[in-house]
Chain A
Amino acid sequence: MRRILIPVAAVAVMASAAGCTATNPQGSGTQTSASHTLTVDVASDIDTLDPAVTIDNASWKITYPCYERLVDYKGSSTQLQPGLAKSWSSSDGGKVWTFHLVSGHKFTDGTPVDADAVKFSFDRLLKINQGPAGSFAEVSSVEAPDPTTVKFTLKSPFAPFPSTLATNYASIVDPKVMSHQQNGDMGQAYLASHTMGSGPYELKSRVKGQSLTLVTNPTYSGSKPQITKAVFQIVSDPSAQRLQLEKGDVDVAEGITIDQLKSLEGESSITVLKKPSLLVDYIYLNVGKGNPVLKNTKVRQAISYAIDYKGLIDATQQGQAVQMRGPIPQGMWGHDNSLMQYNYDPAKAKQLLSEAHVGKVPPLTLLYSDHEAWWPTEALAIQANLKKIGIPVKLSKVEYATERALLDKGQFDLSLGVWSPDYADPYMFMNFWFDSNNGGLAGNRAFYSNPQVDQLIRQAAVSTDQSQREQLYQQAQKIVVQDPPYVYLYQTQYMLPMRSDVLGFVFNPMLQGIYNLSQMSKA
């Protein structure tokens, strides 16, 4: 007995000693944000920081300020401006793209950023061949004829190419990363927790599951940022985030739920930023592999008229979203504001259903998961909407990974989905969603096939004349709205609460969740 009680007693003494220390705090346990430090609460930890590997924009918020790219987005717009490249041009009918680099940019170790580094970064990206490589599938070769010239040769003309270079994937990495190579991984293990770029910041520390800290890069060629340190701390609980923001212990809290944001709006010390995002929420109608009734255009139109769009937005987004008008959202060039928009009209839906002559519609499965917090509510609302016009819906809730596998195989009738573009081009919506070669997870999740649409969007993908491309996409949009393989629900609103003394934040819809730290400051 004594043998057992001794360790228990020892632990008790230790614990009480710790308790004494704790109840007698030496200074505050919470961190006060200094005027040059920006502290951001994020909801979850990141996966890897290697720009050639990560497809998660939670990681991009760390990497984007640490690397530079050939081109950048201009302010809050989706237009491009020079980055590491001061100019660029295309030749050979859009197959060859030549970029001329500015001089004087350096990686954090002082190595100059030259054409060889650009070539290395893209060669590495393509060799690693993970998710990010998909955006550069058209790249055949990259050459560096001289230190300030980079030449990309594509397999076929690809008009959106320059906009792919503004993405996080196209970050220029210091070739010295190869000195950290393990088992032929081209430095993936090292870059998972380090940065090796030439951007205004670099990663100072990463404590797994707790925080990531950025500090300014001493070799950065641009003007010195006012925010010299940015701390991203992982706080999963929305209520804890809210308390920290209200107390001023953090400057920005990303994980606060919409309903809590509403009550924060009245506080003078907090500003809730609201901007339309390019994240769209829609329903896939499985035309190709789902229930045969979905092949009937009138059935699909009936479903589109059966949805109570406003009610859905109120129920799932607390009213903070805009109904879509066709597949290309507002804020992306190619959006057509004169396009026909479906409205909530159950009578018309019933009429279309009877004109479809499909008899009694069998139960349709609606596939969804918990991937978006609002999906369970949305699924119930859609089920109720469709029941009103006589279409029974069977809800099928699965894990996200399972949902994706079923989507890829086409084993569903209806499914909830979200989409946001990787690069600022309508190609990301039109060609991904409607090209008959893209069936399944690759983008055309309705397994839709329309030769006329195929022809229009494929032509738009290779033309280097933007006005012609816009015209082609608008023609294609008219068809896919009248012959809807998707129910175009809404584009969400991006809402971000921050302390009112945070200045200079510019929201770019292509960089959602990413901070323009080097232009920001605190009053």
Chain B
Amino acid sequence: MLKVVWQRLLMLVLVLACVSIATFLMARVVPGDPAQVIAGPHASHATVEAIRHQLGMDRPILVQYADYMNGLLHGDLGTSITTRHPVSDDLLAYFPATLELVFYAFVVALVVGIPLAILAAVKRNSIFDYAARIVSLAGLSMPTFWFGLVLILVLYGKLGVLPSSGRLSSSLPPPPHITGLYTVDGPLTGYWATFVDSVKHLILPVVALAYVQLAIVVRQLRASMISVLATDYVRTARAAGLSEWTVITRFGLRNALVPVLTIVGISFGALLGGAVVTETVFGWPGMGNYVVQSIESLDFPAIMGFTIVIATAYVLINLVVDLINIALNPEIRRGGGS
């Protein structure tokens, strides 16, 4: 297991080197000049040239890259061209918001989805199975923005029980920054009103985002469970007189979870890059909106910082998924084929 960790950490370094070079070059090859964007629509050539010089964009590209990497190795992600803040400050403000949203959405998706899928697989072709399949199909078919708007319309517009957008009511201050997750920092710092308010703000976007993930989990796990439950070793386990609970959890779920977790891991990583639609509908101040704005204004340091954080998160999530898979599957743990 330790070998896997070391391999993955080595891979992280390689991935970051490749990603940084690719992003850096791509950002500069695309037509468009950030100096012109920040100089404004009416700027003269002299002003644009002065800004280009201030940004160091008139230097050779290799010098710019070396300079950037030197900063990166010293923990400096540079300064955003548009917000004038250190990119690390911006990411610290936006990343926890997305992490909080995506994390709870996956918790809900797994907590609800796994039992639903097991029930559907075990009671195949029963009312539970049909219900699970309909719920799953609806989740995959419904556009997220539409489902989000329906949630807002009913729970905010008609019933008025939940807020419609944002992470916190503007009348409340955010809790002091420890993790950046309001649901964690609130209780840790005694900001209980903020905690309650942040949970209320989380419910609708989490439900909207969780539903799609839940649909994926149910669909994948149900199919996986059905095929695992039909295997010889499960039949043997049943013949040996093991309880149905043991058969389902120890032999069925344990093996069926492996492919599902891989998909969930990839999906989790992708959403950390910004659940753009959900964030837009619910005015959620996360990475999605930040990176879209950065791309529109060709804010290279912000785009680079974002890419590096997401690449790191991806590699780490894959590492976690691999470790879970090793724990679940003895064959992988022993280094055998899977």
Q: Is the CB of A244 within 8 A of B183?
A: no
| Contact of A129 with B110 in the complex, beta carbons under 8 Å | no
Given contacts A129-B51, A131-B43, A401-B298, 16 further A-B contacts (CB under 8 A): A22-B200, A22-B202, A25-B162, A28-B160, A48-B82, A53-B38, A129-B54, A131-B51, A134-B40, A188-B84, A192-B83, A211-B170, A240-B282, A400-B296, A401-B297, A405-B33
Contact A432 B170 (CB under 8 A): no
Q: Could you tell me which B residues sit within 8 Å of A by CB distance?
A: 30-34, 36-48, 50-51, 54, 79, 82-86, 90, 93-94, 97, 104, 107-108, 110-111, 149, 152-153, 156-157, 160-171, 173-174, 183, 193, 195-197, 199-203, 250, 254, 279-283, 285-286, 289-290, 293, 296-298, 324, 327-328
Q: Are B170 and A243 in contact (CB under 8 A)?
A: no
Q: In whole angstroms, how far apart are the Cα atoms of A212 and B161 in the complex?
A: 25
Q: Which of A193, A213, A401, A438 has the most CB of B within 10 A?
A: A401
Do B168 and A207 have beta carbons less than 8 Å apart?
yes
Bound Cα distance from A18 to B203, whole angstroms: 9
CB distance from B22 to the nearest CB of A (A): 19
Give the secondary structure class of B's interface. Answer: helix
* A225–B83 alpha-carbon span in the complex (Å): 30
B153 in contact with A243 (CB, 8 Å): yes
Q: Which of A130, A131, A428, A440 contacts B45 (CB 8 A)?
A: A440
Contact of A131 among B39, B165, B170, B280 (CB under 8 A): B39
B280 contacts A8, CB within 8 Å? Answer: no
Q: Is the CB of B203 within 8 A of A22?
A: yes
Provide the bound-state CA to CA distance between A441 and B48, in Å. 10
Contact of A189 among B85, B93, B110, B153 (CB under 8 A): B85
Flag if A419 contacts B289 (CB, 8 Å). no
Q: Determine whether the beta carbon of A208 is less than 8 Å from that of B285.
A: yes
CB-nearest residue of chain B relative to A47?
B82
Q: Which of B41, B149, B168 is in CB contact (< 8 Å) with A441? A: B41
A15 to B44, Cβ gap below 8 A?
no
**Chain B residues positioned under 8 Å from A428 (CB to CB):** 42
Contact status A31-B283, CB under 8 Å: no
Residue ID in chain B nearest A402 by CB atoms: B31
The answer to whether B168 touches A55 (Cβ under 8 A) is no
Q: Which of A4, A39, A135 has the most CB of B within 10 A?
A: A4
How far, in whole Å, are A234 and B281 apart by their CA atoms in the complex? 11
When chains A and B are docked, how far (Å) is the Cα of A48 from the Cα of B108?
Answer: 37
Task: Return chain A residues, CB-CB under 8 Å to B296.
Answer: 399-401
Q: Is the CB of A210 within 8 A of B84?
A: no
Assembled-state Cα–Cα distance A356/B218 (Å):
68
Q: Which residues of A contact B293 (CB under 8 A)?
A: 44-45
Residues of B within 8 A of A237 (CB): 149, 165, 280-283
Closest CB in chain B relative to A244 CB, distance in Å: 6
**With known contacts A12-B111, A243-B152, A131–B38 Cβ distance under 8 A:** yes
A11–B107 CB distance below 8 A: yes
Residue pair B38, A234 in contact (C-beta under 8 Å): no
Give the residue of B37, B39, B44, B108 whose beta carbon is less than 8 angstroms from that of A137.
Answer: B44
Residue numbers in B under 8 Å from A211 (CB-CB): 166, 170
**Whole-angstrom distance between the Cβ of B240 and the nearest chain A Cβ:** 19
Among A3, A30, A247, A438, chain B packs the most CB atoms within 10 A around the CB of A30
Is A102 interfacial (CB 8 A cutoff)?
no
Contact with B along A62-100 (1 / 0, CB 8 A): 000000000000000000000000000000000000000
Residues of A within 8 A of B86 (CB): 189
- Chain B residues positioned under 8 Å from A135 (CB to CB): 42
Question: A405 contacts which of B32, B110, B174, B283 (Cβ < 8 Å)?
Answer: B32
CA distance in complex: A129, B43 (Å): 11
Distance to closest chain A CB from B273 (angstroms): 16
B327–A209 CB distance below 8 A: no
Cβ of A233 under 8 Å from chain B:
yes
- Known contacts A231-B170, A239-B152, A441 near B111 by CB under 8 Å: no
How far is the CB of B173 from the nearest CB of chain A, in Å? 7
